[in-house]
Chains A and B, each alone.
Chain A
Amino acid sequence: MRGFLTTRATVLDWLHTLDQLGDVFFPQPMGESSFRFDKVRKHSLLAFEDFDATSTEKPFRASTCVQPPGKKLSPNNEQIFHFSKNENGEYQLTPTLDDRQRILAGVRPCDLKAIHLMDRINSDGIPDAHYLSRRQNTTIIAHDCLQPCDQHCFCDATGSLRWREGADIFLTPQPEAKLLIEALTERGEQLLADAGFTPCKNIEGRKTLAEAQRTKPFGRQFNAPLQQVIDTVSNSGESPVWDKHVERCFSCGTCNLVCPTCYCFDVQDDFNVDDPDSGQRTRSWDGCMLEAFAVVAGGHNFRPQLAARQRHRIKRKLAWLPARFGDGSFCVGCGRCGHQCTVDIDIFDIANDLLATAETKP
């Protein structure tokens, strides 16, 4: 596949022109120090960070968005079907499928891996037509990270930092405010066909240049190789570690709701107030840390204990789903849950603590 080399400014200008094809999304500054993966509008402030991370100012500094880009493929409160009564008085259901073209740009390797995992989840068993319809009509322009985005990231430790699958175009920072632009799929090729960028003769050399610039070790590292982390979490039953890490927990669900590989939802039906014979079913993001999550009909709660809910969350990421799909860790190490938890409960620390207690066992 082909590669190009051009300035960051040229690429940003180009991104602005892509809105003819559909909505373009890109990380944009929000609040005092955060980013929102938001629709690109005419005057949106867009930026790529420096090759050597000299600028510490937002928006020239990399950071994960509060909500991961992949959530655009299964938005909160999405309508899954609508219903109305026909002439015979029977209810008719029409599924709602969103097939609009969209472009997710500036997607980081961790979130790219997460989208790949969500592709697997949503294609497994009964395929999720709503997710897949959006996914098939989505172009992904990913962007490498040469420096860890913050103190919480551990994407290298979970094997996501070098993830490329799922990206149509991949951008790698280069010196002199430039970017290496590689088409990784046919769709990417087409998109770049008439962008007018300067072809790059030495793609491998450029990649080596970036690799040499990459911080090493990159971000936080577990105290053992990933496979050992997965084995340890898989074999951890009752353990004081679970209790220790929920002492301060609010059961607020933030760690679920910001995670790029959390996909649980709750459904709700509603009728329209202006035509009570019609209405829709919507689904909203749910999370296993919330108290009401495991309540079933009759009010029975399968996991009333907070520690049991925490264990469930960690095992989903680092034991059960890795075993089920054989695609590595379902925690991509983006660090969002630990960063955004107001009492600093971090899956990374929990995993390391489980490793430590496993070692001291006879």
Chain B
Amino acid sequence: MKPRIAFFDMASCEGCQLAILDCEDVFLHILDLVDIVEFREALSEKAPRFDVAFIEGSINREIDAERLRDIRARCTWLVSLGACACHGNVQARSNALSPAENLQRVYGPEACHVAQTDSQYWPLWAHTRVRAVHEVVKVDYHLRGCPVDRDEFLHLVKRLVAGSLPRFARQPVCVECKHNGNECVFEHGDTCMGQITWGGCDAICINGGYRCDGCRGLLPGVNLDSHRALLRERGLSDTDIDSRYRLFCSADVQPRGTRP
């Protein structure tokens, strides 16, 4: 029987699901290998059990966490799909502020007061901390990036179908940047997060003439002190540096443990 795969979205822009639909040249071949049983972007069926669940988006409310636990109980492999699911992404920037300040910033002082006291606004108030998927349930694989890389998605699906272990980059973006023979952006006075960011995207932003802003998240165990010192030397203030590190909420907190 073909593996049954399902997609679920939490707090996200659904861009990762669109990135996967972008595999259109091979999509029909993928459908020979797997059955897609749930995919809001492309179909309306609902299935009780599946082999692989792809979770897109961060967990912002308790109701989402419950839904996630239910999905975990119904699948064999669970995959975090994209930066929101893997480390919270831009919405996790709100974690750095108190909930009251957050509400005030977004809805103004009046609304903030209502939101905090009126039970009707409970879901808003309950949004106190943006969590990555692995902070709620066990995650088997992470597909990183904002959005995900379609080749990595394809690789994972193929490996799961073949019953072998997928292999993802365990090295910084610089590796692929060098594979592509790019001029390092430090060479022309820009700064980059490539040295401390999970690779696997083929350094697509530098190939395209920009820099790496770290959307794939901070690589565990990297030399963050050295990176900050380098950015300071290149004229960035600590505020600028924090803001760069927080853009995708990727380098804000040093992840624990070693690289899986």
* Contacts from A to B (Cβ < 8 Å): 30-34, 36-37, 65-67, 76-77, 247-254, 257-258, 268, 270-271, 273-274, 276, 284-285, 287, 290-292, 340, 342-343
User: Which of the segments B54-62, B112-120, B178-186 contacts the partner chain?
Assistant: B178-186
**Contact present for B26 and A250 (CB under 8 Å):** no
A78: shortest Cβ distance to chain B, in Å?
12
Check A250 against B174 for contact (C-beta < 8 Å): yes
User: Which A residues are in CB contact (< 8 Å) with B162?
Assistant: 271, 276
B100 to chain A, nearest CB (A): 39
Distance A250 CA – B181 CA, assembled complex (angstroms): 19
Q: Name the residue among A66, A247, A284 with the largest chain B CB count within 10 angstroms.
A: A66
Q: Decide if B227 is an interface residue (CB 8 Å cutoff).
A: yes
| A342 lies within 8 A of B178 (CB) | no
> A66-B183, A66-B184, A291-B259 provided; 18 other pairs, C-beta below 8 A?
A31-B182, A33-B183, A34-B187, A66-B181, A66-B182, A67-B178, A247-B226, A249-B223, A249-B226, A250-B195, A252-B172, A253-B171, A253-B172, A274-B29, A276-B161, A285-B179, A287-B175, A292-B259
What is the distance, in angstroms, from B229's C-beta to the closest C-beta of chain A?
A: 7
C-alpha gap A340/B29 in the complex (Å): 42
Tell whether, in the assembled complex, residue A67 and residue B183 are in contact, meaning their CB atoms are under 8 Å apart: no
Query: Is there contact, CB below 8 Å, between A31 and B171?
Result: no
With a cutoff of 8 Å between Cβ atoms, the chain B residues found around residue A37 in the complex are 181
- Known contacts A258-B178, A292-B259: A34-B183 contact under CB 8 Å: yes
Q: Which residues of B contact A250 (CB under 8 A)?
A: 172, 174, 195-196, 222-223, 226-227
CB-based nearest B residue for A274 = B29
Main secondary structure of the interface of B (DSSP, over half): helix
Distance in angstroms from A30 CB to nearest chain B CB is 6
Residues of A contacting B170 with CB < 8 Å? 290-292
Determine the distance from Cα of A290 to Cα of B169 in the docked complex, in whole angstroms: 11
Contact A273 B158 (CB under 8 A): yes
Given A250-B226, A342-B184, verify A273-B171 contact (CB < 8 Å): no
Count of chain B residues near A, Cβ 8 A: 36
* CB neighbours of A342 from chain B (8 A): 184, 186, 192, 195, 230
Contact residues in A for B167 (Cβ distance below 8 Å): 268
Contact at A252–B175, with CB atoms within 8 Å?
yes
In the complex, residue of chain B having the shortest beta-carbon distance to the beta carbon of A285: B179
- For this complex, 25 residue pairs linking A to B, each with C-beta atoms less than 8 Å apart, are A30-B181, A31-B182, A32-B187, A33-B183, A33-B187, A33-B188, A34-B183, A37-B181, A247-B226, A250-B174, A250-B196, A250-B222, A251-B172, A251-B223, A253-B174, A271-B158, A273-B29, A274-B29, A276-B33, A290-B170, A340-B184, A342-B192, A342-B195, A342-B230, A343-B226
Which residues of chain B are within 8 angstroms of A257 by Cβ–Cβ distance?
174-175, 178-179
Inter-chain CA distance A270–B157, complex, in Å, is: 12
Complex contacts, B183 vs chain A, CB 8 Å: 30-34, 66
**B contact residues around A285 at 8 Å (CB):** 178-179
Residue on A with the closest CB to B234?
A: A342
Question: B65 contacts the other chain (Cβ, under 8 Å)?
Answer: no
Check B182–A253 contact: CB distance below 8 A. no
Chain B 211-229 interface 0/1 with A at a Cβ cutoff of 8 Å (1 = within): 0000000000111001101
Residue B124 lies at the interface, judged by CB distance under 8 Å to chain A: no
A132 to chain B, nearest CB (A): 23
